[in-house]
Structure 1
Amino acid sequence: MDSVCPRCHGSQESIVHVFFECPFANIIWRHLSHPLNIDNIPPRLAPEWIELILNPSTHLGLNPQDAHAFTLLAAIACDRIWWSRNKLVFDSSPPASPIDVTADINRSFSAYSNAWKLKMQPTISAWEPPPPGWVKFNFDVAITLSASFPSAIFRDSNRHFISIFTAKESISSLAWAKAKAALLAVSSAANLQLPSIIFEGDAKIVIDSIKAPSSTPFWDLRLIISNIQLLLPYFSQVVFNFCHRASNGLTHSIAFWASFCSTWGPQPISSIPSWVLCEDSDGQVPPLLSLPSVGLPDQ
């Protein structure tokens, strides 16, 4: 970086200037849920700022709990500051205000913190079938170094398989990959023309974003969530539920199997090894209910 800062137009753009010294960044750090007054910190090189973020107990005197929260918040802040800078430079987008960016950072931090609290709570491992007349679509994803593999499983109130779907996608983030798995589930359900659906996944951020799209904390999820919303009118009744990872194990096992075997699309039950299917909560291979393949409903 050796050009003039595109925001303040008053200094040469550098890593330290973009993230800490620019007045735009200074306002953001002051208004975070764990605020930081940059003016009270002596000038530092980029590696020294990284050290401060990773070890705030040493450099800022925070207790261990607050230090963990600050490191998470600072990482999100750096991500959003950089993203908003790139939107301004490369997309010619109207400049976002520092207050709007700060609000986005604080929402994301709250979502991550809540997810961490849920992870620390005791989990319930049993998969629950849907009520009579409904079907449940569980979704999850397996991630390798080069791709992500969403999977989705339809089961009815008798635990019968209706359909199994897998896909191959690129990698953006874990939340993005989980959202892609949700989109696979919803689009596959629309294809089967099933009226009353429960969609269930272990990514609370994705579930909450589908329920309240305007509160989506991650910019890279918004298009996926929008595409999911466009498909919802195909269903008479639709519910989105969060479940713990332990009760979503079969879906993850099928995603892992698909990544290992490089197979995606609708999956015949006969093609899936019994050791994968036995990841179900009751330890038994669930039966398959065969339904004819149909096209998307007329729009």
Structure 2
Amino acid sequence: MLLWRIGASALPTKVNLSRRFDHIDSTCILCNNAEESPIHLFFGCPFTRAFWASACWGLRIETSSLVTDEDIIKLILIPPNSPFPSHDQWTISLNMALIIDEIWGTRNLIQFQEGIADIHLSKKNVQTRFLEYSRVFSVSSALPAVQPTPVWTPPPHGWIKLNVDAVLNSSKSALAVVARDHQGEVLYIWGCQHHLCSPSQAEASSILWAVKLALQEHWKSIIDEGNAQVCFDALSSQDHILDWNICTIINNIRSLSSSFVSCKFRWIKRNSNSAVHSAARIALNSCQQYCFNKSNIPPPLKSVCMEDSSLCSFVCV
């Protein structure tokens, strides 16, 4: 009903009220810097822009693409540049609709009850409602007769394990890194598009990116893990004969690895690397680099992380 009222320009924002009544102060009550039109209230206000970035997996919406109130509804029903597969896109529309509803509720709380805008509380409200709705509307699947055993193993205490992977299509490649601690807690998930290159070059680039990210985070002891055997064999032995097309990348990785107190490289099978592979697939379909932390991991990635390891099921909730 709220979305219908927005699309029909029937929502009593201050701008809509000023068109019908005299002497209406049309200033946005959240920021006091602009007129409270639906587009400003839900997308242009500094409070709501920060709220979108916090509650919708870092989404930032350019208000220049919104001209009419109807455009707001189109944006929610068909999210732009969605990085998720088509069968999961409904979760984005659901989350966006709940954010719209929370913004309107916050606005009314301030307008009529002298409340305050609290991004953290609003984000919690949206997350709670999202989980409730998604459990109801998601398609349930029968559990297999035999549950798969965990395939991801945690690093020692004090170490960070970075799983890496790369995927390609006919025009580009994409890299991903998943960082987890000794308790299996997901610290960060990074993903980005990369230029088109050979599979081994893409895999080597994902390892190099993981090392650079670890340096940025000031981690001292790391384990880089992935399923690109040619790359990890090259990194595990100084005497290994390097493939010419990854020679420079491997040497750069070796040079940076000396900056850590401890740095290990470990090859694993593909079925032990499923979480980061899913992250790479999402990066391949995304128009921009992303970084999710443990508090804003999208449901599709959170689910595969939980399936990846029994430890994650206790912390990625």
* TM-score computed with the length of structure 1 as normaliser: 0.51
The SS at the match of 1:266 is strand
- Deviation string, structure 1 residues 21-69 (Cα, Å, up to 9, x no partner): xxxxxxxxxxxxxxxxxxxxxxxxxxxxxxxxxxxxxxxxxxxxxxxxx
- Deviation string, structure 1 residues 88-108 (Cα, Å, up to 9, x no partner): xxxxxxxxxxxxxxxxxxxxx
2:315 equivalent to 1:278? no
1:269 shift after superposition: 4.7
Match of residue 249 from structure 1: 274
Match of residue 140 from structure 1: 165
**Which of 150, 175, 189 is the matching residue for 1:150?**
175
2:233 equivalent to 1:199? no
1:207 shift after superposition: 0.4
In the aligned structure 2, how far is the partner of 1:164 from the partner of 1:227?
23
Q: Does the CA contact (< 8 Å) of 2:153 and 2:309 recur in 1? A: no
- Mark the CA change 1:136 to 1:286 in structure 2 (over 3 Å): closer, same or farther: farther
The SS at the match of 1:221 is helix
Match of residue 102 from structure 2: none
1:263 shift after superposition: 2.9
Match of residue 236 from structure 1: 261
For structure 1, list consecutive stretches of 5 or more residues without a partner in the other structure.
Answer: 1-123, 289-299
**Which of 138, 155, 167 is the matching residue for 1:130?**
155
1:277 shift after superposition: 2.2
In the aligned structure 2, how far is the partner of 1:247 from the partner of 1:129?
12
Aligned partner letter, 2:162? F
Aligned partner letter, 1:169? H
Aligned partner letter, 1:153? V
In the aligned structure 2, how far is the partner of 1:270 from the partner of 1:246?
26
Match of residue 75 from structure 2: none
1:220 shift after superposition: 0.9
Match of residue 176 from structure 1: 201
In the aligned structure 1, how far is the partner of 2:173 from the partner of 2:223?
24
1:190 shift after superposition: 1.1
Which stretch of structure 1 is more off in the superposition, 161-170 or 196-205?
Answer: 161-170
Q: Does the CA contact (< 8 Å) of 1:274 and 1:285 recur in 2? A: no
Paired positions, count? 166
Match of residue 287 from structure 2: 262
In the aligned structure 2, how far is the partner of 1:206 from the partner of 1:247?
17
1:208 shift after superposition: 1.0
- Mark the CA change 1:182 to 1:286 in structure 2 (over 3 Å): closer, same or farther: farther
- Percentage of pairs with the same residue: 28
- Deviation string, structure 1 residues 213-261 (Cα, Å, up to 9, x no partner): 5524421101101111121122001111111100100000011011112
- Mark the CA change 1:149 to 1:270 in structure 2 (over 3 Å): closer, same or farther: farther
- Mark the CA change 1:222 to 1:125 in structure 2 (over 3 Å): closer, same or farther: farther
In the aligned structure 1, how far is the partner of 2:287 from the partner of 2:161?
25
- Aligned residues: CA RMSD: 2.3
In the aligned structure 2, how far is the partner of 1:187 from the partner of 1:238?
12
Q: Does the CA contact (< 8 Å) of 2:162 and 2:210 recur in 1? A: yes
- Mark the CA change 1:225 to 1:286 in structure 2 (over 3 Å): closer, same or farther: farther
1:271 shift after superposition: 5.3
